[in-house]
Amino acid sequence: MEDLNRLKLLTDSRYRELRGKYGHMFEADTGAQAILTTLQKLNLDELHARLHEEINSASGQRRKKAIKRLQVVEPSGAAEQAEWMIITVLRSCRRKPPPPGAS
């Protein structure tokens, strides 16, 4: 199989091609489902620790990038679930229109 990695972006045509060729072995999501699946598999505690380690050991651009990523991870709290950042259900709260002839 080709060099496919987790989080690799595919065009629609490439996705359909790989799905047709490797259907039983190929798993990929599209759109918001792909983001939700990725966040569900993310271990925030591990990422938090790894980013702190990188900040302490790296310099320059790598350090700046790690600091920015840590700013995204920390507000959610290491105990939280990353996928909670995604809205999965929208409820309609619209009111019924008044009946005809009502003032």
Q: pLDDT tens-digit profile of 36-77?
A: 888 888 888 888 899 999 999 999 999 999 999 898 887 655
Residue 66: CB atoms within 10 A of its CB come to 19
34/1: higher pLDDT = 34
DSSP reduced 3-state for 30? coil
Answer yes or no: is 100 within a domain: no
Model pTM score:
0.56
53 and 83 belong to one structural domain: yes
Supply angle C-alpha 35, 39, 42, rounded to 5.
145
For residue 103, the model assigns a pLDDT of 61
Q: Are residues 26 and 50 in the same domain?
A: no
Q: What is the pLDDT of residues 9-34, one digit of tens each?
A: 888 898 889 889 888 888 888 888 88
- pLDDT for residue 1: 53
Question: Which residue, 26, 50, 22, 40, is CA-closest to 86?
Answer: 40
Residue 60 sits in the same domain as residue 81: yes
102: in domain: no
Whether residues 36 and 14 share a domain: the answer is: yes
Q: Both 13 and 48 in a single domain?
A: no
103 vs 89, more confident = 89
Domain of 17 in residue numbering reads as 7-41
| Closest residue by Cα to residue 29 from 43, 12, 48 | 12
The total number of structural domains that make up the chain = 2
> 66 is written with which tokens?
């790690």
